[in-house]
Amino acid sequence: MTTPENKNSDGAKASCASCCGCGGSPSPMKKKKIFTTVAIVVIVLIVALVIVFSSLGRIIKTGVQTVGSQVTKSQITVDDIDLSLLGGKLVIDNLVIGNPEGFKTDSAMRLGKVQVKLNPKSIFSDSIEIYEVLVDAPQITYERSLTSSNISVIQDNVNAFLPKDDGKDKEAEEDKDKKPGKKVVIDQVTVSNGQINLSATLLQGVALPVPLPTVALSDIGKTKTVTPPEAAAQVLAKVLSSVLDVATEALKKLVSSPGELLQSVTDGAGKKTAETKKDIQDAAAKVEEKAAEVGKDVKEAADSVKKAAGGLLKTFTGKEDDAKK
């Protein structure tokens, strides 16, 4: 005997069967449509991620060039930036800091490769975690004018960008912690095997290579919140300060004892290749020769002034002054 409920149930099954032919389960055609839809969604997501990740390098490159130029007030260029999120590595190729206006040499600093190890997950958070920054064999040109140098001008610009550490900005610092925006923490920065090429009027066109001691910084952004531009400015300020110390000392030796400078730059090349060491020796020898020539020229000029003064005095008084003797 068939009850009304059984009749309704049988009718529903018959209706489903007539609709999809599966007795209540999705048909093969419907399964295929679902699978196709899911596959399309996955492909779209993958393509979107590839586009985002590939564009990150370009975004970082634009940021480095734009913000860096604002901080130093000199043109900054970058050839390429390679970001590997899976490996947690960032490589900046051929970062060049141009000279401020009024200086003749091609650039102030050339950083062949800057290698960065970071926590890839932190890139999408409020605070970027950087484990290590390595700058190997940077080439720095110190150009001295009559009143200043390219390095000191850039250093002044960088220092002007950095927040003042005088206790007055404590409230502003607290506000910065609360504001949205990227912050950065850097465990270790190392700049090694650098070379400073001294270029000054006294050198008469000779560029004297002087080794730059290793520069190291640690725990940037751990005790005081910093933005990525401020962290970069801190590192650059430290490097520029070291460059100025080395260049100033080298120029002092150039004036007082060029022979001692020759020995010091030769010793500094002890770990370099024989070819590089020879280049340093040749350049330093030329500097010593030029310094001697300058000294001779100054003496001859002084003698000429004395003779001229004596001649003028004789014309008006008929007597020669002791300055001529």
- Whether 27 maps to a domain, the answer reads no
Same domain, residue pair 195 and 158: yes
pLDDT category at 38 given cuts 50, 70, 90 is confident
pTM of the model: 0.68
Query: Residue 52 above 90 pLDDT?
Result: no
Lowest mean pLDDT, pick from 27-36, 152-161, 249-258, 277-286: 277-286
pLDDT category at 34 given cuts 50, 70, 90 is confident
- Whether 78 maps to a domain, the answer reads yes
Top pLDDT among 19 and 95 is at: 95
In eight-state DSSP terms, residue 144 is B
Mean pLDDT value of segment 63-75: 94
User: Across the chain, what does the average pLDDT equal?
Assistant: 76
Q: What is the pLDDT of residue 305?
A: 46
| Interval 236-248: pLDDT, tens | 999 999 999 999 8
Mean pLDDT value of segment 304-314: 49
C-alpha dihedral (102, 104, 106, 108), degrees to nearest 10: -60
Structure tokens at 28: 């093969």
pLDDT category at 152 given cuts 50, 70, 90 is very high
Same domain, residue pair 175 and 320: no
Could you tell me the CA-to-CA distances from 230 to 63, 130, 185, 276 in Å, in that order? 13, 14, 11, 35
End-to-end, the C-alpha distance of the chain in Å comes to: 148
Domain boundary pick from 256, 281, 298: 256
- Whether 5 maps to a domain, the answer reads no
Mean pLDDT value of segment 255-265: 59
Top pLDDT among 7 and 287 is at: 287
Same domain, residue pair 237 and 279: no
Domain boundary pick from 226, 256, 286: 256
Same domain, residue pair 202 and 305: no
Same domain, residue pair 177 and 290: no
- Whether 105 maps to a domain, the answer reads yes
Beta strands in 213-298 (DSSP E): 215-220
**CB contact at 8 A, 108 and 151:** yes
Query: Residue 191 above 60 pLDDT?
Result: yes
Structure tokens at 293: 């020539």
Same domain, residue pair 91 and 195: yes
Same domain, residue pair 116 and 248: yes
Same domain, residue pair 88 and 237: yes
pLDDT category at 85 given cuts 50, 70, 90 is confident
**CB contact at 8 A, 81 and 91:** yes
Q: What is the pLDDT of residue 309?
A: 47
Give the whole-number percent of the chain exceeding pLDDT 70: 59
Same domain, residue pair 302 and 232: no
- Whether 267 maps to a domain, the answer reads no
Same domain, residue pair 175 and 281: no
Residue 287: domain span: 273-325
Same domain, residue pair 307 and 169: no
Same domain, residue pair 48 and 116: yes
Task: Tell how strand 127-136 and strand 183-192 pair up.
Answer: parallel
- Whether 33 maps to a domain, the answer reads no
Top pLDDT among 224 and 22 is at: 224
Mean pLDDT value of segment 283-295: 59
Rounded Cα gap, residues 93 and 82, in angstroms? 8
Domain boundary pick from 203, 224, 256: 256
Give the whole-number percent of the chain exceeding pLDDT 90: 40
Query: Residue 112 above 50 pLDDT?
Result: yes
Number of domains, the chain: 2
Query: Residue 322 above 60 pLDDT?
Result: no
